[in-house]
Amino acid sequence: MDLGIAGRKAIVCASSRGLGRACAQRLAEAGCEVVVNGVNAERLEKTAADIRAATGAKITAVVADVATKAGQDALFAACGEPDILVNNNAGPPFRDFRELDRQKMIDGVVANMITAIELTQRAIPAMTAKKFGRIVNITSGSVKMPLAGLDLSSGARAGLTGFMAGVARSVAADGITINFLLPGSFETDRLVANFEVTAKRRGVAIDVPRAERIAGVPAKRLGQPDEFGAACAFLCSVHAGYITGQSLLIDGGVFPGVM
């Protein structure tokens, strides 16, 4: 399927690896010029080179922490008028809620709610002028089904979802859509790190929590980043212009509800 976005300019935050990288890859395959981003310069440059070689697309690497003003300035210096913005940022680590002090909570809300709002504020004017824009916020399946230990992440991302739901309706007439992708268990470095923490705490091999997680997924496997990236690219396409303010849960059937 031709997604109809060849030549569009995209910023994909936190895209040196994992789900962000998969989104950048798929947008590049669709013909977009993509700004990729991360804080590890060596890893980011390799990602940019790999996507460039695989797709022939123009890929610009921006080393920056998107939660800071300097980092956001760097992104928009590289792409001043994005047509597509994929908001993504690492979430806080697994932690019992009793261990959260005020600063940890503030940092979590900044990283997983405020940053995406600030980036959206900067992207919207050019999108409005062009009467086209696609904003995709990568949140988490825990927004719909909170998990103990991810309370801060769940709360901040749920806050972002509520905030952006109203914004989505306010800009829809300008051809701008704002949607949310809610990943479940995907084969990423972050998930592996969670397995490692769990295994260490319980004194078992890492294969044990991994097998337990897979057993709880009706699809009986972990998700692959590439299929997540494909969903992101579709939401950014011309075919998704009538979809806005929606949360797409991609979890292999874990969430037991019908909506």
Domain ranges of the chain: 9-186+225-245, 188-222
Distance CA 22, CA 173 (A): 29
Output the pLDDT for position 259.
79
Sequence-separated (6 or more) residues with CB below 8 Å from residue 127: 82, 83, 133, 171, 174, 175, 176
Residue 40: other Cβ atoms inside 10 A:
12
CA distances from residue 65 to 3, 83, 137, 208, 222 in whole angstroms, order as listed: 30, 21, 17, 34, 28
Output the pLDDT for position 190.
84
Domain 9-186+225-245 maps to which CATH number in 3.40.50.720, 3.20.10.10, 3.40.50.300, 3.40.800.10?
A: 3.40.50.720
Q: What is the pLDDT of residues 49-100, one digit of tens each?
A: 999 999 999 999 999 999 999 999 999 999 999 999 999 998 887 788 999 9
Contact 55, 63 (CB under 8 A): no
Output the pLDDT for position 220.
98
Distance CA 142, CA 152 (A): 10
Residues lower than pLDDT 50 in the chain:
none
Distance CA 248, CA 253 (A): 12
Sequence-separated (6 or more) residues with CB below 8 Å from residue 234: 3, 240
CA distances from residue 68 to 11, 63, 65, 71, 174 in whole angstroms, order as listed: 16, 12, 6, 5, 28
Distance CA 246, CA 259 (A): 11
Beta bridge partners of 61: 36
Q: What is the pLDDT of residues 26-47, one digit of tens each?
A: 999 999 999 999 999 999 999 9
pTM > 0.85: yes
Q: What region, left, alpha or beta, does residue 6 occupy, with left being phi > 0 and alpha being psi -120 to 50 degrees?
A: beta
Output the pLDDT for position 8.
98
Q: Quick one: tokens of 47?
A: 């990602």
Output the pLDDT for position 236.
98
Output the pLDDT for position 73.
98
Output the pLDDT for position 34.
98
3-state secondary structure of 181: strand
Output the pLDDT for position 39.
96
Output the pLDDT for position 94.
77
- Write down the H helix ranges in the chain: 18-29, 41-55, 69-78, 102-109, 115-130, 151-171, 189-202, 207-215, 225-235
Distance CA 109, CA 34 (A): 27
Output the pLDDT for position 257.
87
Q: What is the dihedral of CA 10, 11, 12, 17, to 10 degrees?
A: 100
DSSP secondary structure letters along 229-256: HHHHHHHTSGGGTT--S-EEEESTT-S-
